[in-house]
Amino acid sequence: MTLWQRKRGKRTQQEPERLMRPRIAIFGGTFDPVHTAHLTVAREAVVQFGLSAVLFVVAARPPHKAGAVHASYTHRMRMVELACLRTPEFVPSRLEEYDEISYSIQTIQRVKLTAGPDAVVYFLIGADAFAEIQTWHQWVEVVREVSFIVVTRPGHHYKVPPGATVFRLNTLALPVSSSDIRARLAAGEEPPEIPAATMEYIQANRLYGFPSRRGRPSVTDL
């Protein structure tokens, strides 16, 4: 049973026909590093929208964060893989691995081509990023191709551009900052917002300036 089915106590044969179609959300980001707020948002999206999969698409070279990535693509991808191990609906994706620049329109088109015509494809995104969508490459095509699940804090409002279909994912405030996490890692702390297996990987590979510690088990080759 999926997270959505367990939440509602329903089995597949009881689902409405429209929810038996593949329902996929693209969740893109640098994931530098992946943390519990990412996982909480993805889990809530699965439950509230009956998603069959959330694709964690790790951006190789994001256009809006040029030069601002702190760990290599290989490391960020492996951290996402480790964080997603225990949840079948969470699917790490390498769709943007070889892109010169990671444009969302290309990723959306690849997902739709692979998923097939019956799939319902969403784009899972934070409200702050969605507010800037009209600055994206080919944004008109982007809003035409997918519906958006916008992660929205209580009382937060944003402008919906023409042609966009938006569903709100109302969440409690998740005060997790990637820059704060990186600073704490550099100071030798083990932030609880990082999943355990991912934390072990960071320690083993001394990412983000994490100091060397002997005797730690390595998950590099998991």
Rounded to whole angstroms, the Cα distance separating 94 from 28 reads 11
Radius of gyration for the alpha carbons in the chain, expressed in angstroms and rounded: 18
Number of helical (H) and strand (E) elements in the chain, helices listed first: 8, 6
Name the helix (H) or strand (E) containing 58: strand 53-58
The model's pTM:
0.86
More confident residue, 174 or 35: 35
* 25 backbone dihedrals φ, ψ, rounded to 5°: -115, 130
Which residue would you say has higher pLDDT here, 35 or 176? 35
Q: Could you tell me the CATH superfamily of domain 21-203?
A: HUPs (3.40.50.620)
Task: Give me 79's structure tokens.
Answer: 């951290």
Task: Report H helices in the chain.
Answer: 3-8, 36-49, 73-83, 104-115, 127-130, 139-145, 178-186, 196-205
Residue 13: predicted pLDDT:
45
Query: What pLDDT was estimated at residue 80?
Result: 98
What phi and psi, each to the nearest 5 degrees, are found at residue 185? -65, -45
Q: Per-residue pLDDT averaged across 160-185, rounded?
A: 89
pLDDT band at 70 (very low <50, low <70, confident <90, very high): very high
DSSP notation for 8-43? HT--GGGS-GGGSS-EEEEEEE--TT--HHHHHHHH
pLDDT band at 4 (very low <50, low <70, confident <90, very high): very low
**For helices 73-83 and 196-205, angle between their N-to-C axes, nearest 10 degrees:** 150
Q: Under DSSP, is residue 96 helix (H, G, I), strand (E, B) or coil?
A: coil
Whether the predicted pLDDT of 12 surpasses 50: no
d(C-alpha 35, C-alpha 202), whole Å: 12
Measured distance CA(202)–CA(210) in Å, rounded: 7
In the prediction, which pLDDT does 1 show? 54
Q: Which two tokens stand for residue 66?
A: 């040029």
pLDDT level of residue 66 (50, 70, 90 thresholds): low
DSSP 8-state symbol, 189: -
Query: How far apart, in Å, do the first and last CA atoms of the chain sit?
Result: 26
Q: pLDDT at position 65, please? A: 64
- pLDDT, one tens digit per residue, over 102-154 is 899 999 999 999 999 999 999 999 998 999 999 999 999 999 999 999 998 77
Q: Are 169 and 149 a contacting pair, CB within 8 Å? A: yes
| Percentage, residues of the chain above pLDDT 90 | 72
Of 11-15, 168-172, 202-206, the poorest mean pLDDT is in 11-15
User: Does residue 208 have a pLDDT over 80?
Assistant: yes
The rounded mean pLDDT for the chain is 87
Q: Which amino acid is at 197?
A: A
Domain ranges of the chain: 21-203
Is 149 or 13 the better-scoring residue by pLDDT?
149
Mean pLDDT of 70-74: 95
